[in-house]
C-alpha cells in the first residue's frame, strides 16, 4: 500500500510537459512513508508560483522603474508609482513607502547581511511565533532556530514569520521586511526542490522552512492557493526527502507520534449536534455541484472530520488531520485543477476545511488553551468571505451558511486545532 502511495506521489511530480490522467486517490495513505525519491520540477513550479519574485520589466524611456516604492524594489517587480499606494502594495495589503527611496543616480551602501530588525524578528520567532506543529514541540523549534544559523532558507523563513507575526500582534508594520524574507526563502525552496538535499540536517531544514512558510501564509491577506501549495510541498518533503524519520528532529511528526500527542491535549467538550447538522448540511449542499472524483473525495474528508464529533472529539481531530493533508495525494495536474480559482466547488470545499478548523476547535480544546497566532482567525475569515464574494451569482448561495458562520467565528474565542 505504501509503495503504491509513493509511486503515485512520485508520478504527481513528473515532467510538466506530460499530462497526468490518473484519478485522485480514494483513500489517504500514511504521510510517514519514507524514501529517497527525488521531487520533480512541476511541484517546484507550483511552489515557485507563490514567491512573487519576477524579473523586473522595462519601462518605456528607461530600463527599470527608478522611482518605485521600496516594497516593489525589494520584490524586484515593476511599480506603477501610484501615490500614496501603488497597485502591487494595495493588492498585497502592504504599507507603501516612497519616503526613503533614493533619488536617481545616488550611491547606496551595500546592504548588511544582518540588521537589528532581524534580531528582533529572530527573538519573536524563537519565543512566540514558531509554528504550532508538531504539537507541543517548543524544543523542536528551538533546535530549528539553531539550525537556521547554517541554513539560509530556514533563516529567511523564520525571520519572515517572526516579522509578520510581530506586525500582526504589535504596533509596528514590518510587512515589507516579512515579504522580503519570504521571497528569499521561497527562491531557495525552489532551488532545493530541483536538487533535494540528501543529508538529514539539510532535509530537516527544508521541511522546517516549509512549515514556517505555511504558518506565515495564514497571516497574509489572500493566501488560499499558496497555503494549499506549501502544505502539499511540505508533505512531499516529509515523504520523500527526509532520509529517516526516526532520526529527524521532527520525529514527533509521524502519524503515530502526532496521534499520541494529540490524545494528551484533546478535550471532550460539550457538543452542539444541531450545529454539526448545519455544517454537514452546507457541505452536502456543495456536494450536489461536485462532478469530479477529486472534489467528491475531498468532500468526503470534510464530512468525516465533522461526523467524527458523533464518536468523540479525538476521532474528529484525527479525521481533521486526514482532511488537512488530503490534497497532498492528488496528482500534480489534479492538484493544480483543484486549486484553480474557477473551480468553484473545490473553492467552497476548501473554505469548509478552513472553517472546520475553528468549528472543531470549540469541541476539541479547553477554554484555557493558549494561542500564539490570534491574528490568524481574522485572516481565515477574510479568505472565506473573499472566496464567497468572488463566486458567480448562481453559485454564491452554496456559500451562504459559510458566510453566516464567519460572523459566528468572528465573535468566538478563536479556538482552533493548532494547524499552521
pLDDT tens digits, 99-110 = 544 455 444 444
Separation of alpha carbons 163 and 177, rounded Å: 7
246 pLDDT band (50/70/90 cuts)?
A: confident
What pLDDT does 258 receive? Answer: 87
Task: Give the residue-averaged pLDDT of 15-19.
Answer: 37
* 322-372 pLDDT, tens digit each: 999 999 999 999 999 999 999 999 999 999 999 999 999 999 999 888 888
386: CB partners within 8 A, 6+ apart? 222
Residue 396 CA to residue 392 CA, distance in Å, equals 6
C-alpha cell at 298: 475531498
Nearest of 133, 167, 391 to residue 255 by alpha carbon:
133
Mean of per-residue pLDDT scores for the chain: 83
**Phi and psi (nearest 5°) for 59?**
-105, 155
Nearest Cα neighbor of 212 from 125, 294, 152, 142 is: 125
Cα–Cα–Cα angle for 420, 150, 166, rounded to 5 degrees: 40
CB atoms under 10 Å from CB of 417, counted, come to 23
C-beta of residue 335 within 8 angstroms of C-beta of residue 327? yes
Angle at 406 between CA 400 and CA 412, to 5 degrees: 145
Please classify residue 113 by burial: count the beta carbons closer than 10 Å to its beta carbon, then call 0-12 exposed, 13-18 middle and 19+ buried: exposed
Mean pLDDT in residue range 362-386: 94
* 182 has a pLDDT exceeding 60: yes
Q: Are 81 and 65 in contact (CB under 8 A)?
A: yes
> In the numeric block, which cell numbers belong to residue 208?
522546517
Output the CA torsion sign for 406, 408, 413, 415. negative
Quote the CA–CA distance of 91 and 93 in Å, as a whole number: 6
CA distances 256 to 251, 262, 307, Å, are 10, 10, 22
Cα separation, 192 vs 180, in Å, equals: 19
Strand, coil or helix: 362:
helix
- Provide the grid cell at 21: 490522467
Contact 121, 148 (CB under 8 A): no
Residue 314 has pLDDT above 60, yes or no: yes
C-alpha cell at 28: 489517504
pTM over the 0.85 mark = no
Mean pLDDT for the stretch of residues 6-28:
40
Quickly list DSSP for 171-231.
SS--HHHHHHHHHHHHHHHHHHHHS---SHHHHHHHHHHHHHHHHHHTTSSS-HHHHHHHH
Cell numbers found for residue 23 = 484519478
Amino acid at each position: 500500500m505504501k509503495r503504491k502511495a509513493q509511486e503515485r506521489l512520485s508520478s504527481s511530480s513528473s515532467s510538466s510537459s506530460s499530462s497526468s490522467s490518473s484519478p485522485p486517490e480514494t483513500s489517504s495513505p500514511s504521510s510517514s512513508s519514507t524514501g529517497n525519491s527525488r521531487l520533480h520540477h512541476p511541484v517546484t513550479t507550483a511552489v515557485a508560483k507563490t514567491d512573487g519574485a519576477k524579473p523586473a520589466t522595462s519601462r518605456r524611456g528607461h530600463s527599470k522603474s527608478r522611482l518605485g516604492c521600496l516594497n516593489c524594489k525589494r520584490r524586484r517587480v515593476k511599480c506603477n508609482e501610484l501615490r500614496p499606494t501603488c497597485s502591487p502594495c494595495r493588492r498585497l495589503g502592504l504599507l507603501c513607502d516612497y519616503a526613503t527611496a533614493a533619488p536617481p543616480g545616488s550611491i547606496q551602501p551595500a546592504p548588511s547581511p544582518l540588521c537589528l530588525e532581524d534580531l528582533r524578528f529572530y527573538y519573536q520567532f524563537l519565543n512566540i511565533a514558531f509554528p504550532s506543529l508538531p504539537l507541543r514541540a517548543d524544543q523542536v523549534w528551538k533546535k530549528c532556530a539553531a539550525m537556521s544559523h547554517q541554513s539560509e532558507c530556514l533563516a529567511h523563513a523564520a525571520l519572515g514569520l517572526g516579522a509578520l507575526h510581530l506586525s500582526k500582534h504589535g504596533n509596528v508594520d514590518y510587512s515589507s521586511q516579512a515579504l522580503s524574507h519570504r521571497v528569499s526563502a521561497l527562491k531557495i525552496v525552489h532551488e532545493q526542490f530541483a536538487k533535494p538535499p540528501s543529508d538529514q540536517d539539510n532535509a530537516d531544514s527544508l521541511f522546517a522552512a516549509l512549515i514556517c512558510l505555511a504558518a506565515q501564509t495564514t497571516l497574509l491577506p489572500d493566501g488560499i492557493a499558496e497555503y494549499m501549495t506549501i502544505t502539499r510541498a511540505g508533505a512531499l518533503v516529509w515523504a520523500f526527502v527526509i532520509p529517516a524519520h526516526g532520526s529527524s528532529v521532527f520525529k514527533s511528526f509521524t502519524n503515530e507520534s502526532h496521534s499520541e500527542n494529540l490524545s494528551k491535549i484533546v478535550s471532550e467538550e460539550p457538543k452542539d449536534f444541531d450545529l454539526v447538522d448545519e455544517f454537514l448540511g452546507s457541505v452536502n449542499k456543495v456536494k450536489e455541484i461536485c462532478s469530479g472524483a477529486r472534489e467528491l473525495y475531498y468532500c468526503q474528508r470534510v464530512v468525516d472530520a465533522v461526523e467524527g464529533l458523533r464518536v468523540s472529539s479525538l476521532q474528529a481531530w484525527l479525521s481533521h488531520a486526514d482532511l488537512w493533508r488530503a490534497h497532498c495525494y492528488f496528482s500534480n495536474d489534479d492538484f493544480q485543477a483543484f486549486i484553480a480559482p474557477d473551480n468553484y466547488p473545490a473553492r467552497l470545499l476548501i473554505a469548509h476545511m478552513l472553517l472546520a478548523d475553528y468549528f472543531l476547535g470549540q469541541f476539541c480544546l479547553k477554554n484555557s488553551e493558549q494561542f500564539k497566532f490570534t491574528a490568524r482567525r481574522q485572516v481565515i475569515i477574510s479568505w472565506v468571505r473573499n472566496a464567497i464574494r468572488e463566486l458567480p451569482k448562481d453559485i454564491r448561495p452554496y456559500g451562504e451558511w459559510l458566510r453566516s458562520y464567519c460572523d459566528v467565528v468572528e465573535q468566538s474565542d478563536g479556538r482552533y486545532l493548532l494547524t499552521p
